[in-house]
Amino acid sequence: MDRSKIRSLSVIAHIDHGKTTLSDRLLEVTGTVSARDMRAQYLDNMDIERERGITIKLQSVRLGWKDHVLNLIDTPGHVDFGYEVSRSLAACEGVILLVDAAQGIEAQTLANCYLALENDLEIVACLNKIDLPAAEPDLYAEEIENILGIPRDEVLRISAKTGEGIPDLLDAVIERIPAPEGDPDDPLQALIFDSHFDPYRGVVSSVRVMTGTLRSGDKLRFMQAGAVHEADEIGVRNPTNTPVEALGPGEAGYLIAGIKDVGEARSGETVTTVRNAAAEPLDGYQDPKPMVFCGMYPVDGDQFPDLRDALDKMRLSDASITFEPETSGALGFGFRCGFLGLLHMEIIRERLEREFGLNLIATAPSVEYRVNKTDGSRLVVDNPSAMPPVQEIDSIEEPWFEVTVLTPSTYTGTVMELCQLRRGEMQKLEYLSPERVELKYTIPLAEVVTDFFDQLKSRTQGYASLDYEPAGYRASALVRVDVLLNGQPVDAFSMVIHRDKADDYGRKMCEKLRELIPRQMFDVPIQAAIGGRIIARQTVKAKRKDVLAKCYGGDISRKRKLLEKQKEGKKKMKSIGRVEVPQEAFVSALTLDD
């Protein structure tokens, strides 16, 4: 195919600015999907995406417009799925930058735009939702020029809902985005930018050919994994899978090579041929670094092998998940899983339960700490229960994030108050316009991952937007708070927290567990402790039985004898009794602030 007629592009925007709706209109206007088959959120093929109205997985599709072929990738918008965006940009020459004409530039718009500029991609900016009564396209076109440096007369105005301006956008894509480079006769270099597991055909990979030609039947080498497989089928998505004989430079499609081992076709892998192999792999993506960790345990211990298989398959389609086995005295066998953020963790847990029929308990989220020990060694800890004893710790370093918040100026005070409550340090306050403010803070990641985003939205009535990026490690006054039930520590409730907040956390946790743990035949003390020091206590009172009911007369010694007998029985029960903790108690650790 003529390379000059190919365009590879991605759609980037802040969450809820209309990326998926725009993809629907592009499919409709280019005639890729017939009006009879069309449905809203066509490329979002997961139930959870439709229910929540968000894109979780990037989706690629091939469109035709005026003798040109457009390889389109629809990307997620939430900050937790920024890794998906970086993968899609590596397979493109240009992007459509979508800005809501009623809201203007948001934090994630800036982050994704800078990511595109780092990749030297051509940017086609457009204002969406111009059909809304609240739309102010002139105001926000000027804002785009001031902040991003894109001339206002080059900013297109469209409505993804009504289809207004879509043909002009397609023309602009063909004019402004360059054609791909690459020689079809060079050694093959194809980039895998996404994969998913099909139970009947094995791994189905999304590939973008950079140089050379990928042909059906070729013997292929996966360069990072070192595996060799034969290409059973290659094809393009129109948006249904359509087999083709070959894919040339600049073309994107799918590859099926009968791969059963999920680790052999990871995202970022370079594919070449065995006979005329490329000298070196393409520049891969940065390995995604998990930011939030939690333990996942099956409610039924027999489901542990199923959970391991499910996580293996999940990691194929989402390479940003990490997991390793761990054991908890309270919960049995499970996995310590790493995620990019709290929403990412919530989505993965829900997908595991829905797609694989698992019933899971997730422990409270934590982050990765660096512990400097008194003997001079350094330990990396992502599980609070793995923290060494207090006397062996010299200092603990925690990860900090640089947080960018864009908010209407009327909410500046309440946003600053929230950031200061979370131990934030202000770096910058800048007015982008008389109505909008950009705030930059450095905040400990542990303070961001719990409910910072929810609090921000509720304090600003949903108008503020958030973006964050790592800002290194710093030493902090951190302690591990343990929760003891009947004198036994429950590792699932352990939490590493700042010393100033430790007493408050221990008190809240004890009060919450007192409400949730059912009464036993003996008193159950619930204690929060830092090392050997108890900082809070509550007691679940024993079920009462009136042993004196039958003792309606006689000497007091008869009553005392019965009470002593009962006391001995309770003492024995307490020494051998085991406290059953209901699942709601573990979930409550996540929702402690409610």
In three-state secondary structure terms, 444 is: strand
In three-state secondary structure terms, 119 is: coil
Q: What is the pLDDT of residues 311-356, one digit of tens each?
A: 887 876 666 788 888 887 667 788 888 887 777 788 888 888 888 8
Q: Name the average pLDDT for the chain.
A: 80
Residue 592 has pLDDT above 50, yes or no: no
Cβ 42 vs Cβ 180: under 8 Å: no
Give residue 53's pLDDT band: very low, low, confident or very high (50, 70, 90): low
- Give me the pLDDT at residue 1, please: 65
Residue 548 has pLDDT above 80, yes or no: no
Q: What is the pLDDT of residues 412-423, one digit of tens each?
A: 899 999 999 888
- Give me the pLDDT at residue 41, please: 53
Q: Which range in 29-38, 148-157, 264-273 is most confidently predicted, on average pLDDT?
A: 148-157
Q: What is the pLDDT of residues 524-539, one digit of tens each?
A: 888 899 888 898 998 8
Give residue 442's pLDDT band: very low, low, confident or very high (50, 70, 90): very high
Mean pLDDT on 103-108: 77
Residue 81: burial class (beta carbons within 10 Å; 0-12, 13-18, 19+) = buried
Residue 100 has pLDDT above 70, yes or no: yes
User: How far is Cα 159 from Cα 407, in angstroms, rounded to an integer?
Assistant: 24
Task: Tell how far CA 189 is from the center of its chain.
Answer: 30
pTM metric for this prediction: 0.67
Measured CA to CA in angstroms, residue 109 lies from 126, 440, 441 at distances of 12, 16, 18
Give residue 593's pLDDT band: very low, low, confident or very high (50, 70, 90): very low
Per-residue H/E/C for 306-351: HHHHHHHHHHHHCCCCEEEEEEECCCEEEEEEEECCHHHHHHHHHH
Give residue 594's pLDDT band: very low, low, confident or very high (50, 70, 90): very low
Mean pLDDT on 536-565: 77
Mean pLDDT on 376-390: 84
Cβ 249 vs Cβ 212: under 8 Å: yes
User: How far is Cα 586 from Cα 594, in angstroms, rounded to an integer?
Assistant: 14
- Give me the pLDDT at residue 523, please: 77
User: How far is Cα 30 from Cα 154, in angstroms, rounded to an integer?
Assistant: 23
The reply to whether omega before 434 is within 30° of 0 (cis) is no
- Cite the DSSP H helix spans in 460-578: 499-516, 556-576
Residue 560: burial class (beta carbons within 10 Å; 0-12, 13-18, 19+) = exposed
Residue 351 in tokens: 């997908």
Q: Which amino acid is at 126?
A: C
Which own/partner contact pairs does 410-417 have at CB distance under 8 Å and 24+ positions apart?
Answer: 411/459, 411/460, 411/461, 411/463, 411/464, 412/437, 412/439, 414/459, 414/460, 415/439, 415/456, 415/459, 415/460, 415/464
Residue 204 in tokens: 């189905």
Who's near 147: CB < 8 A, 6+ residues apart?
105, 110, 432
How many CA within 13 A on the CB side of residue 199?
4
User: How far is Cα 295 from Cα 335, in angstroms, rounded to an integer?
Assistant: 6
- Give me the pLDDT at residue 343, please: 76
Residue 20 burial (CB count, 10 A) = 24
Cβ 89 vs Cβ 193: under 8 Å: no
Tokens 């422990």 locate to 363
Q: Which amino acid is at 370?
A: R
- Give me the pLDDT at residue 369, please: 87
Higher pLDDT, 587 or 522: 522
- Give me the pLDDT at residue 286, please: 55
- Give me the pLDDT at residue 90, please: 78
Angle between helices 82-89 and 107-118 (to 10 degrees): 30
Who's near 148: CB < 8 A, 6+ residues apart?
97, 105, 110, 113, 123, 125
